[in-house]
């Protein structure tokens, strides 16, 4: 898997081949077919692994949730934001159609569903039960990630704006609590 991630990070998913992965780990391509039947199978495993990694990060954040509802949302947003910008290639596979026609298998998709179920439960505890509110929250955080990656890679321009964006979202949904603007 690590060799496949290396290829994707260096050359993109289009350049990912079983031959390239096999060469990096000192195998011949036919030997790798015993582990992965195709390039799609490797990408599927990578997708599942990426969501499992994020699930672990989300679980750790859940264990340290603050009391104030807005701060809860900010922690969730920052957790995902940091995870995504830490590895843009992994983020692309998780959240964009970077591989045309790729659809994850049910097993690889399961961790992403578990993450969304956890988010839905968390938003429910905050009184945010409208599916549109969920969609707006995930779109807002995702857009902030995309802006960071596209316009300030390696910087913190959009990361710094997360408290303001969460305040706007919280104001719109009527979420109580002190304003986040100005919090580091």
Query: In terms of domains, do 85 and 1 share one?
Result: no
| Reduced 3-state DSSP string for 132-172 | HHHHHHHHHHHHHHHHHHHHCCCCCHHHHCHHHHHHHHHHH
- Domain extent, residue 9, equals 1-37
CB 166 within 8 A of CB 79: no
127 in a structural domain: yes
Query: In terms of domains, do 33 and 109 share one?
Result: no
Stretch 123-142: mean pLDDT:
96
Percent of the chain with pLDDT over 70: 98
Residue 37 has pLDDT above 60, yes or no: yes
Q: How confident is the model at residue 184 (pLDDT cuts 50, 70, 90)?
A: low
Query: In terms of domains, do 70 and 116 share one?
Result: yes
Query: In terms of domains, do 51 and 30 share one?
Result: no
Stretch 33-52: mean pLDDT:
92
CB 162 within 8 A of CB 144: yes
Looking at residue 31, which CATH number applies to its domain?
1.10.10.60
Domain count, the chain: 2
8 in a structural domain: yes
Q: Taking CA 152 as the corner, what is the angle to CA 86 and CA 47, rounded to the nearest 5 degrees? A: 30
Residue 32's pLDDT is what? Answer: 78
* Phi, psi values for residue 65, rounded to 5°: -65, 135
Residues comprising the chain, all counted: 184
Give the end-to-end CA distance of the chain in Å, rounded to a whole number. 36
Q: How confident is the model at residue 28 (pLDDT cuts 50, 70, 90)?
A: confident
| pLDDT digits 0-9 by tens, 57-99 | 999 999 999 999 999 999 999 999 999 999 999 999 999 999 9
Residue 182's pLDDT is what? Answer: 61
Residue 183 has pLDDT above 70, yes or no: no
Query: In terms of domains, do 49 and 136 share one?
Result: yes
For residues 101 and 62, what is the distance between their CA atoms, to the nearest angstrom? 33
Stretch 117-129: mean pLDDT:
96
Stretch 153-181: mean pLDDT:
93
181 in a structural domain: no
For residues 15 and 20, what is the distance between their CA atoms, to the nearest angstrom? 8
For residues 166 and 71, what is the distance between their CA atoms, to the nearest angstrom? 9
Residue 31's pLDDT is what? Answer: 78
Query: In terms of domains, do 92 and 165 share one?
Result: yes
Query: In terms of domains, do 169 and 87 share one?
Result: yes
């Amino acid at each position: 898997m690590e060799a496949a991630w290396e290829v994707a990070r260096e050359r993109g998913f289009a350049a990912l081949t079983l031959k390239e992965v096999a060469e990096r780990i000192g195998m011949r391509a036919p030997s790798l077919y015993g582990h992965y039947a195709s390039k799609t199978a490797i990408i599927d495993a990578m997708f599942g692994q990426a969501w499992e990694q994020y699930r672990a990060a989300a679980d750790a954040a859940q264990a340290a949730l603050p009391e104030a509802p807005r701060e809860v949302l900010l922690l969730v947003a920052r957790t995902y934001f940091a995870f995504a910008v830490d590895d843009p290639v992994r983020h692309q596979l998780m959240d964009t159609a970077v591989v045309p026609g790729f659809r994850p298998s049910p097993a690889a998709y399961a961790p992403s569903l578990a993450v969304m179920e956890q988010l839905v439960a968390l938003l429910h505890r905050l009184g945010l039960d409208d599916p549109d509110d969920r969609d707006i929250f995930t779109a807002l955080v995702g857009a902030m990630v995309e802006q960071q990656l596209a316009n300030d890679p390696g910087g913190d321009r959009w990361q710094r704006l997360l408290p303001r964006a969460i305040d706007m979202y919280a104001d719109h949904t009527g979420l109580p609590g002190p304003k986040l603007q100005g919090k580091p």
